[in-house]
Amino acid sequence: MNGGAEYLREQRRWHWAEIVFWLLVPAAWFVFPGYLVLGTQILIAALFALSLDLVMGYAGIVTLGHAAFFGIGAYTAGKLGQQGWTEPLSGLFIAAAAAAFIAALTARLVCRGNDLSRLMITLGLGMLLYEVANKAASLTGGLDGMLDIVIAPLFGTFEFDMWGRTAYVYSAVCLFLGFLLARHLVRQPFGLALHAVRLNPLRSGAIGIDNTRALSRIYILSAAMAGVAGGLLAQTNQFVAIDVLSFQRSADVATMLIIGGLGQLYGGLVGATGFLVAQDSLAAVNPVYWQFWLGLVLILVVLFVRGGVVAVVRRMAQRLGRRMQRRQP
């Protein structure tokens, strides 16, 4: 039987809806030139949500502290820019490495143990880092945030301008590359292994998979991705506020992901877009209302929307497809 290669090729094929989705990203650059700053924020949040999808949606690690890696990336990239290392790409790389390093140190803790201790540890680590950043004000700027970050033009030519044009393209490319990596990964044996560990850790061990190692690996990778997102934020804003490490940020990105749908790669992207667009329009009006409605939406999505928006769309599309098939003579 040689169907193996064909089977895999079929799985890797790009659906037309995906292509349309990714064409929208550069399209927005042309259609909404006045909203590129918001657009960049969406792209960065989407990358962050994607990283969370890898740990929560695919590996099943419940974490409310993923902002820790986002923040580490942000502060690292910010610090480099502040201290004279202004080249953006290498700064981003180092930010990712820093986040991955911290993840590697804590991976054992997080990937062992049951759900509750994992929740605790990730929550606690997040809060710990927040406190550290708060106390080490000389290093991080504390509650005031990190200022005086200077980022050199990308490739020496593209300056980070006020309208966010360079920032948008920069972030879009990073997001796309991150997405390609994630998409590739979940279709490889590693992706299958993660799925198996999440579905039945007893059984995955019984077929020889080292659960802890599998989870550690994705955790570190996801942390690096979150670190890139944080680094992008620091570089495009040229400012880092302490809220990059806050629980609120971890909760927000989890919300984006649950609304969009876990384990489907596009969930985080769709959720981030919806969340930030809504937040941009509504939160400015009244932050208290925003928190209230956010809580409500969260509850409603958990109760009624199985698999988030992406899953709902997919199911509707399937039903539509079947109905159209029946109509054909």
Partner 1 sequence: MSPASTAMQSADAATSPPAAGASARVVLETRKLCLSFGALQVTRNVDFQLRAGERHALIGSNGAGKSTLVNLLAGALQPQSGDILLEGERINKLAPFQRVRRGLVRTFQITALFGEMTPLDSVALAVCQANGAGLSFVGASAAHAGAVDEAAEILRTVGLLEHARDETRFMAYGHQRLLEIALALACRPRVLLLDEPAAGVPMAESRRLFQTLAELPDELTILLIEHDMKLVFQFASRISVLAEGALLAQGTPQEIARDERVRQSYLGHSHA
Partner 2 sequence: MLINGIAVLLDGFAYGALLFLMSVGLSITLGLMGFVNLAHMAIAMLGGYALISGMSMLGWSFFPALLLAIVLTSLFGVVLERGLFRFVYGAPPLAQVLLTVGALFMIAAAATYIWGPGLQAVTIPEFLQGRLRIGPFGFSRYRLFLLVVGLAVLVLLQLGMVRTRFGAMVRASVDDQDVARSLGIPVDRVFMGAFAVGSALAALGGALSVQAMGLDTSFGLKYLVLALLIVVLGGAGSIMGTFLSSMLIGIVIIAGAYYVPAMGAFIIYLVMIVVLTLRPTGLRSVRRRHP
Residues near partner 1, by CB under 8 A: 1-5, 7-8, 184-185, 188-193, 195-196, 199-200, 202-211, 213-214, 217
For the CB of residue 317, give the shortest distance to partner 2 in the complex, in Å: 25
Q: How far is CA 197 from CA 63, 110, 224, in A?
A: 16, 15, 21
Using CB distances below 5 to 8 A depending on partner kind, what does residue 109 bind out of partner 1, partner 2, none? partner 2
203: CB partners within 8 A, 6+ apart: 196
Q: Identify which of residues 19 and 199 has a Cβ nearer to partner 1 in the complex.
A: 199
Using CB distances below 5 to 8 A depending on partner kind, what does residue 64 bind out of partner 1, partner 2, none? partner 2
Using CB distances below 5 to 8 A depending on partner kind, what does residue 258 bind out of partner 1, partner 2, none? partner 2
**CB-based contact 146:140 (threshold 8 Å):** yes
Q: Identify which of residues 128 and 152 has a Cβ nearer to partner 2 in the complex.
A: 128
Strand, helix or coil for residue 113: coil
Interface with partner 2 includes 101 (CB under 8 A)?
no
Using CB distances below 5 to 8 A depending on partner kind, what does residue 2 bind out of partner 2, partner 1, none? partner 1
Query: Could you give the CA distance from residue 296 to residue 269 in angstroms, rounded to a whole number?
Result: 21
Cα 14–chain centre separation:
21
Q: Identify which of residues 168 and 275 has a Cβ nearer to partner 2 in the complex.
A: 275
**CB-based contact 58:195 (threshold 8 Å):** yes
Judged by CB under 8 A, the stretch of 37-45, 265-273, 301-309, 316-324 that binds partner 2 is: 301-309
Cβ density class 49-81: b for 16+ within 10 Å, e for less: bbbbbbbbbbbbbebbbbbbbbbbbbbbbbbbb
310: CB partners within 8 A, 6+ apart: 260, 261, 264, 266, 267, 270
- Positions 105 through 164 that interact with partner 2 (CB under 8 A): 109, 112-117, 119-121, 123-125, 127-128, 131-132, 134-135
Enumerate binding residues for partner 2 (CB under 8 A): 56, 62, 64, 109, 112-117, 119-121, 123-125, 127-128, 131-132, 134-135, 247, 251, 254-255, 258, 262, 288-289, 291-292, 294-299, 301-303
